[in-house]
Structure 1
Amino acid sequence: MREAKTTASDQGPETSVALDGDGTCIARARHLAADFLTRQAGHAVAVSARVREVVQLVVSELVTNAYKYAPGPVIMVLRITGEAVEVQVWDSHPGLPEARTADANRVGQHGLEIVKALAVGFEARQMTAGKCITVRIALTDGQG
């Protein structure tokens, strides 16, 4: 993992990191998300424990999929934008994810369903090289 870069953009505080495509990248991404959200108290942004847990779950699902299906590094950006935490994950695989039809008997492959259920916004875009998934998680516990 390359060192995380934390800045304040016009949209709010953000951090970004390029994660190596090894098995430790998922845990590192979760820890980076938790640390970033904990530090927001210094910027007068209240982030509840529930929101931190939801963001860590979303990060885990997105980075896991990138690790499983795309060769090479994964780039993750976390940003506070008004009333939401924005999670962006870029990987080199060009295929856009599709949520499967709900099936209580299916074992596994429910990650995208879970992410969409927790999000107030979801976007998947093809890029020149790969794709970028953007998920918005409400900062207020009552939304999402």
Structure 2
Amino acid sequence: MTPARRPDAVDSSVLSTAVDLSGGPGMIPAARDLVRAFVARLGEAGVEVPRTFPDDARLVVSELVTNALRHAPGPCRLKLALVDGQVEIAVTDTGEGFPTFLPRDPLRVGRHGLEIVTRLCDEVITKPHDRGKTVYARLPLA
């Protein structure tokens, strides 16, 4: 999938937040807390947030941060930004490998995280950089 805007573009008018996660079991709850706070900021900014959006956003963030925790050494960074009426979720890690999108298989036990992410999000892309990669997922607010 291709991004609607370049993921490395910077727009100071965009509502965004980020956190560096150092690893360990506290990463997932910290990531979910960031989502909760960001959704509250969206509401305060007058952005209409559908009823299911907070749960969908927490699920996508949990899956992407879990993948970073499992498959990449070192810390990761989670960034959430309101872009073009969607929330862009970006997880940057130090892993060299790209996410593996497996074909749908209802009999497979586990490894459905990216399948869930791609079903909930309009776009999912991975961009390599000199110290790993960033996975971007666009979650619609409609």
Q: Which residue of 2 aligns with 1:89?
A: 91
> Residue 100 of structure 1 contacts residue 113 of structure 1 at CA under 8 Å; is this kept in 2?
yes
The residue that corresponds to 1:69 in the other structure is: 71
| Secondary structure of the corresponding residue to residue 12 of structure 1 | coil
Q: What is the aligned residue count?
A: 132
User: For residues 106 and 24 of structure 1, what CA distance do their matches in structure 2 show?
Assistant: 28
List aligned pairs for 1:9-48, cutoff 5 A. 9-48=11-50
- What is the CA distance between 1:35 and its match in structure 2? 1.2
User: Which residue does the alignment assign to 1:119?
Assistant: 121
Task: Spell out, residue by residue over 1:8-53, the C-alpha distance to the aligned partner (whole angstroms, 9 max, x if none).
Answer: x435200011011111101110111111111212111111231111
CA contact (8 A) 1:38 1:47 kept: no
Q: 1-side partners of 2:111 and 2:13: how far apart?
A: 33
Distance 1:78 1:95 in 2: 23
Map Cα deviations across residues 100-131 of structure 1 (whole Å, 9 max, x no partner): 11111110000001100111111111111111
Q: Conserved in 2, the CA contact under 8 Å of 1:30 and 1:56?
A: yes
Identity over the aligned pairs, expressed in percent? 36
The letter for the 2-side match of 1:137 is: L
> Unpaired segments of 5 or more residues in structure 2?
1-10
Give the structure 1 partner of residue 3 of structure 2. none
Q: How high is the TM-score relative to the length of structure 2?
A: 0.89
Structure 2 counterpart of 1:50, from 49, 52, 59: 52
Taking structure 1 as the reference length, the TM-score comes to: 0.88
C-alpha separation in 2, matches of 1:26 and 1:65:
11
Q: Which has the higher contact order (CA 8 A, sep 6+)?
A: 2
Q: Secondary structure at the match of 1:22?
A: coil
Deviation >4 Å, runs of 4+: none
Are 1:12 and 1:82, in contact at CA under 8 Å, matched by a contact in 2?
no
Query: What secondary structure, in the 3-state scheme, does the structure 1 residue paired with 2:31 have?
Result: helix
